[in-house]
Amino acid sequence: MIVIGGGPGGYIAAIRAAQLGRSVACVEQWKSPAGKPKLGGTCLNVGCIPSKALLASSEEYENAVHHLSDHGVGVENVTLDLAKMIGRKEGIVEKITGGVEFLFRKNKITWLKGHGKFAGKAEGNIRVEVSGEGEAKTYTAKDVIVATGSKARHLPGVPVDNKIVSDNEGALSFDSAPKTLAVIGGGVIGLELGSVWRRLGADVTVLEMLPTFLATVDDSLAKEAAKQFKKQGLDIVLGVNIGEVKITDKGVSIAYTDDKGAAQTLNADRLIVSIGRVPNTDGLDLAAIGLQVDERGFIPVDEHCATSIANVYAIGDVVRGPMLAHKAEDEGVMVAEIIDGQKPHIDYNCIPWVIYTEPEIAWVGQTEQQLKASGRAIKTGQFPMSANGRAMGIGKTVGFVKMIADATTDELLGVHIISANASDLIAEAVVAMEFKAASEDIGIISHPHPSLSEVMREAALAVQKRALNM
């Protein structure tokens, strides 16, 4: 087997296939700024892992400056060593990408360093050409998995230099905290990166083109998130139409019209462009084996990630569905097991989403607005963090857990959380929904006291109108 791409989907697919006895090679061309070849793709190098490291470091800084005094801890003359903070982030990236290299060696996976593209078929096998490290070489395999991920979408006519105008990559490595920061795009990445630099001292304005905030999130969570972000100082402007973006002597100038059609100008020291991502299918030469992308640039696949070409699969950000690392991992495992003759399955409705802001936002299943639009009869339960003893103890009382169940059968249809540690709490809901649990099932099982997880139980009980601590 050959896997093209060494990000979360690709390297997990390679490892699972190797566990199942396959001879596996993985093609990856990523290099660090110093020119060192790296595994892990966008996620481990300039995405999920480094951004969460900076989010954690910036939160520690903000806690020291603003919140430790609430605990009776006096801290004076707090300083910010941004170079050390960035260095810590780079150290984590180095450790985790090095860990993937170790796993490749452990599982006897061959790492083909360079750019991979299709080179046709030969005697029932698929040919893949790898170039970039010396002379190009062609390899053949019975099965090929495309796992080349995605890249940041850029604004037409707005060059990204990752100094003044940055995408997610440049925004992780500023050499100083800007005094003013503009973010175009109020989605997951824009909110997370905007939160990092707000905590480190920037005045942040988020320009969102949609008329509603976090339109894919349950309405109740989106409203609470907007309220909390406003309190923190994030200025979120909705319904804008971006015009000319110009680099100036003082930074960057963004012309836009607001939701009333009035012309506005925003001047900032730096700009982060975060308007989504596009699949990495450039340079794959899909036509060499008779494949082509759809109108949005994705590789068409069936429910098992098989393309229209026998023995060629595609997973992760290059195919339909959410652009989430854990979704890519699940697909990588599924495809490796299908090739092995097993019959795995992914319930895409049970894939969780997380936004790592403060508070965190996490959900799985359907929103209340989706269920009402479909005509489904539902019942809901909600419980606030402010009534939880553990939340009080750690000083994280913002937010709530909301559960939605079928009005007749009580089957859980969606769980939505805005709180500290929502990324961890949501896992219980994923397990419950995978097992087609009822809200009652969560409500009757013991949860440790005191813990944030008790709010999950109380929200489940609230569906039955019998929350114990409200």
User: Using the 8-state DSSP alphabet, how is residue 342 labeled?
Assistant: -
Residue 375 DSSP SS3 = coil
Residue 274 DSSP SS3 = coil
Residue 22 DSSP SS3 = coil
Per the annotation, the verdict on 345 as an active-site residue is no
Burial 167-183 (b: 16+ CB within 10 A, else e): bbbbbbbbeebbebbbb
Q: From the CB of residue 112, how many other CB atoms can be counted at a distance below 10 Å?
A: 22
Rg of the chain over Cα atoms, rounded to whole angstroms, equals 24
Name the E strands within 169-285: 180-184, 203-207, 235-237, 241-248, 251-257, 263-268, 270-273, 277-279
Catalytic residue among 66, 67, 71, 449: 449
Tell the burial category of 248 from Cβ atoms under 10 Å away from its Cβ (0-12, 13-18, 19+): exposed
What are 402's strand-pairing partners? Answer: 382, 416
Active site residues: 449
